[in-house]
Amino acid sequence: MSIPLEQWQDIWQHEYLADYIPSGGSAVKILVADDQGLDQVVGTAAATARSAGFITVTVDSAITRCHLIQEIFFAVSRSIDWDTWTDKWLCRELEEAGHIVPDGTQLSDVDTITEASGVDPKTIKNTITIIVDRNLMNSKSLWYQFGIAMAAYCIGRIERSDEIDAIGDLTLSWLRGEKVSLSRLRPLRITERIGRHNARPILISLARWCHTLGIPGICIVMNLSAVYNPSDMSVHYTRAALLDLYELLRQFIDETEDMSYLSIIAVAGRQLTEDAKVGYDIYDAFKMRAVNDVRDRVKDNPLNTLVTIDTTDNIRIAE
């Protein structure tokens, strides 16, 4: 049994992207399709989320080690325009605090903001500090080191100097998985790099933070075609890596209720469900989460976690 891609796209758009996920929900979907239709499914899922305003990241298993959660997080972090979104949010918060930010004014142009607001620069900076403390340092929904890092970055957007700029660059390098000396991060109270042990809570925090910035949510589309069809690629998946991938997806499914503003779509070939050597049969914990115990004999349920997609018909791509 399979579901036409256009039908699944409509459900994905109207049942999840339009309201449920932007309202604080989350979703994990496993889509199975014929090898020749995988790219079409990946492109449709990504285009639909992008048209809904989501930060949408397509993770190619031939390039990115999809079984490592930190690599997925880094791919998302590198796709975000941190400067633009952060400045928009801080300007909006300043205006809600009663200050005036003239149209087209950069956040770093403190003189223009203070003149329009009729206050001194220290007042503006103090307001920013209060905003950052309330939304980041004192937030119980964000993982503490993510909150610390973003607080330092936000303060740096208004207090510009060579030293502050360097702190901002360090923060972004840490978030993007670039090489950064831990000794340089210690003044920010960041004591460890992002790895397998902490990438998941940081990713969950990032999705919540992006919503605070005014973004509906994050959509990660994982193209797993290279996992089952190895060729000349930079990433090779051993059996251990494959088990890690299934465990990663299992954890995401289990944590759906704890995540917010985050959607994850894994697109795989039919090997996932039909190949006993590499499919979900090798890891029962994942299979039990992905496959529904109760199934209709006539048609598949498009709301299931695992859905088989039919790409034989031409479909529209969301604009």
Instruction: Please tell me the predicted confidence (pLDDT) of residue 121.
Output: 86
pLDDT digits (tens, 9 = 90+) for 150-189: 998 888 887 655 565 677 788 889 999 998 888 888 887 8
pLDDT cut 70: percent of the chain above it: 92
137 shares a domain with 88: yes
Q: Taking a C-beta distance cutoff of 8 angstroms, is the pair 31, 40 a contact?
A: no
CATH number at residue 271: 3.40.50
- Assess whether pLDDT exceeds 90 at residue 319: no
The parent domain of residue 147 ranges over: 82-188
Give mean pLDDT, residues 8-27. Answer: 96
Residue 312 has pLDDT above 50, yes or no: yes
pTM of the complete model? 0.91
The answer as to whether 75 is a domain residue is no
- Residue finishing a domain among 166, 188, 210: 188
Q: Within 13 Å, how many C-alpha atoms sit on residue 165's CB side?
A: 4
Give the model's pLDDT for residue 317.
43
Question: Residue 28 and residue 177: Cα distance in Å, rounded?
Answer: 24
pLDDT of residue 26: 97
Question: Residues 175, 262: one domain?
Answer: no
Res. 262: pLDDT tops 90: yes
- Tell me, yes or no, whether 86 and 174 share the same domain: yes
Choose the final residue of a domain: 147, 166, 188: 188
Query: Packing angle between helix 82-96 and helix 121-132, nearest 10 degrees?
Result: 110
Last residue of a domain, one of 188, 206, 238: 188
Query: Residue 124: is its pLDDT beyond 50?
Result: yes
Indicate whether 206 belongs to any domain: no
- Rounded mean pLDDT, 244-270: 96
pLDDT tens for residues 278-287?
999 999 999 9
Over residues 69-78, the pLDDT tens digits come to 999 999 999 9
Same domain, 91 and 64: no
- Mean pLDDT for 87-99 is 92
Q: Which two tokens stand for residue 46?
A: 């990504």
| Domain assignment of residue 11, yes or no | yes
Q: Is residue 37 part of a domain?
A: yes
Structure tokens at 129: 């500090």
Whether residue 317 lies inside any domain: the answer is no
What confidence category does residue 318 fall into, taking pLDDT thresholds of 50, 70 and 90?
very low
